[in-house]
């Protein structure tokens, strides 16, 4: 894993700071536009809920971004958190050594 100086931002932080604030949209307006609940948006914004594939599609359509933007943000965040939490265990895993198979 690449060594980062800080953990990747949760996609909810990006949604809050780079999209809602920039576009001047409230959580309620976004929830209505995406056909979801205020609670869902609020939990994403407050980093208590992850971005699902369905939500990534909705956000990409609404904001004109790629689906991959949202999924990659979530994936990077998840990988970093798991690696940090399970570092000792993960560091013990070694690549398999390829053995030559005898031809018969």
Residue 27, in any domain of the structure: yes
* pTM (two decimals): 0.81
Q: Can you give the pLDDT at residue 88?
A: 80
Residue 97, in any domain of the structure: no
Domain count, the chain: 1
Residue 4, in any domain of the structure: no
Residue 6, in any domain of the structure: no
Q: What's the angle, vertex CA 92, arms to CA 94 and CA 88, rounded to 5?
A: 145
Domain span at residue 76? 11-91
Residue 49, in any domain of the structure: yes
- Residues 84/1, Cβ–Cβ less than 8 Å: no
Residue 101, in any domain of the structure: no
Q: What's the rounded Cα separation, in Å, for the pair 37 and 40?
A: 5
Residue 61, in any domain of the structure: yes
| Mean per-residue pLDDT pooled into runs of 10, the chain (104 residues) | 75 97 97 98 97 98 98 95 82 84 75
The enclosing domain of 70 has a CATH number of 1.10.260.40
Residue 102, in any domain of the structure: no
Q: Can you give the pLDDT at residue 98?
A: 86
């Amino acid at each position: 894993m690449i060594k980062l100086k800080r953990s990747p931002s949760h996609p909810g932080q990006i949604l809050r700071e780079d999209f809602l604030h920039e576009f001047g949209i409230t959580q309620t307006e976004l929830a209505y536009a995406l056909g979801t609940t205020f609670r869902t948006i609020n939990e994403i914004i407050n980093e208590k809920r992850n971005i699902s594939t369905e939500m990534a599609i909705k956000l990409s359509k609404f904001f004109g971004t790629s689906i991959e933007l949202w999924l990659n943000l979530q994936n990077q965040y998840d990988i970093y958190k798991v690696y940090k939490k399970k570092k000792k265990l993960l560091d013990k895993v070694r690549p398999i050594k390829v053995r030559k198979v005898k031809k018969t």
